[in-house]
Amino acid sequence: MPTFKVAIVGAGPAGYFAAQALQNAQNEDKTFSIDMIERLPTPWGLVRSGVAPDHPKIKTVSKVFEKIATAGNFRLFGNVELGTDIALADLQAKYDAVILATGSSLGRKLGIPGEELKGYLSAADFVPWYNAHPDYTDVEVPLDTETAVVIGAGNVAMDVARMLALDPSELDPTDTADHAIAALKKSGIRKVYICARRGAEHAAFTSPELRELPKLEHTNVIINKTDIDAAIIAAGDSPEKDVKSNLDAMLAIAEHEKTNHARTMEFLFHHVPTEIKGSGQVQEVVFKTPVGEKTIKCGLVISAIGYEAQPMTDVTYEKGKVLNTEGRVKENIYVVGWAKRGPSGVIGTNKSDAAAVIELLISDLKAPKDFGDINELIGAHKIITQSHWEAINTAEVSRGEPLGKPRVKAADKNELLRLGGL
Ligand code: NAP
């Protein structure tokens, strides 16, 4: 029975779901030997470094990832970077198929004056900072200001605004990076504006995330009822189900009894940012609104307006994505997840997306290649295998136990290698 060798580059949800689709497609005619290559010493992608720490339920999908990783015919090659430790052309030659699952790690730019000022950040830098991503521990996040402005009306903007507006003691039982908890405990921020450029009927939030906001124990959440009344009219008599559900959730917030907490998160609609101003450091943001220009004084601005893929050599990119046709990139190279379709959908979206690409991949397979093993290419490089990763995982979880946390993450690459036993 032929065994086809498949390399998956990127150990995030899209990569694991691609591996799962391959495992599910095995039958008496063919099996797959799967090698997952990840540049970090830790797998799980956005489930580790993107999902908000106060959303632990979303992270339980990692159990599925571990099941895939231990189902047999699967090897993890962590701490191995494509383009540096190994070339795409080498993978292309050695494997029957190569699947890029490298995501979208760059924050989209607003393209307005002032983005170079200290105190302006993209969510693409802030989110991995609070999630202990080893490449983002040095990100400067000025929290010594009373007011922060978050630009964007999607779930990432909401995560960012919530992380800034909640009482940091609420993060104690989470796996937020230690450095971020310490910084947030000293934060002077008491007012967070979340600014949408269009009306509430166009917001990209999802309703479960909106519905949990009134449950925040130490934060007032403010939505102006007149904004939602106007959005309900603008949405018309038969709005789409998701829009209706969002507007219902926002109306519930608008009608929710106001509290007297010291911290406030307020939604502003029809606020188009035109300039960030300050001398050396952010001091205010200028918006165009339906009633004219408006300025909000603040010391921190975080944009959460979408992501683009980080380009790599030998792959063509277009509009922030790998150029592809339904997941086919070029001879025996495929792409899945955000690198394929752009930064949209929830974690589960990657399952059907990957399954469709694997179907195409299988239809393209010919006779299996036999050109040796990837280990011959990597040489003496320190590789995090599945068992090294399991050692890291166990160590982090046991460090968390006495503190009532799901884990205490290591944010330093050398410490991660040490925890892995390397
Ligand atoms: P998103 O859902 O696409 O939202 C991006 C937001 O940025 C939109 O409101 C968009 O407004 C706005 N925007 C774009 N360009 C702008 C500009 N130049 N100025 C002002 N606003 C601008 O993206 P995301 O929030 O990054 O989320 C990515 C994906 O991950 C989404 O599918 C999201 O649902 C998912 N996610 C899910 C969860 C969860 O399930 N809890 C958490 C985080 C992320 P327009 O509509 O006007 O363009």
Q: Is the CB of 152 under 6 A from ligand 1?
A: yes
Say how many C-beta atoms besides its own lie within 10 A of residue 303's C-beta: 27
**Which residue's alpha carbon is at the smallest distance from atom 42 of ligand 1?**
155
Nearest CA to 34 out of 77, 1, 88 is that of: 77
* Cα of 228 from ligand 1 centre, angstroms: 19
* Cα of 345 from ligand 1 centre, angstroms: 10
φ and ψ of 33, to 5 deg: -110, 120
Q: Which atom of ligand 1 is nearest to the CA of 111?
A: 18
First to last CA, the chain: 36
Q: Is the CB of 80 under 6 A from ligand 1?
A: no
Task: State which of 47, 49, 54, 155 you would mutate to test the pocket of ligand 1, scoring each by most atoms of that ligand within 8 A of its C-beta.
Answer: 155
* Cα of 157 from ligand 1 centre, angstroms: 7
* Cα of 305 from ligand 1 centre, angstroms: 5
Q: Is the CB of 343 under 6 A from ligand 1?
A: yes
Contact between 118 and 282 under an 8 Å Cβ cutoff? The reply is yes
**Which residue's alpha carbon is at the smallest distance from atom 18 of ligand 1?**
110
Q: Is the CB of 242 under 6 A from ligand 1?
A: no
Nearest CA to 108 out of 297, 354, 327, 338 is that of: 338
Full pLDDT tens readout for the chain, 422 residues: 899 999 999 999 999 999 999 999 999 999 999 999 999 999 999 999 999 999 999 999 999 999 999 999 999 999 999 999 999 999 999 999 999 999 999 999 999 999 999 999 999 999 999 999 999 999 999 999 999 999 999 999 999 999 999 999 999 999 999 999 999 999 999 999 999 999 999 999 999 999 999 989 999 999 999 999 999 999 999 999 999 999 999 999 999 988 889 999 999 999 999 999 999 999 999 999 999 999 999 999 999 999 999 998 899 999 999 999 999 999 999 999 999 999 999 999 999 999 999 999 999 999 998 888 888 888 788 999 999 999 999 999 999 999 999 999 999 999 999 999 99
Task: State which of 305, 319, 349 you would mutate to test the pocket of ligand 1, scoring each by most atoms of that ligand within 8 A of its C-beta.
Answer: 305
φ and ψ of 272, to 5 deg: -95, 115
Q: Is the CB of 418 under 6 A from ligand 1?
A: no
Furthest-apart CA pair in the chain: how many Å? 70
* Cα of 195 from ligand 1 centre, angstroms: 12
Q: β-strands 74-78, 31-38: how paired? A: parallel
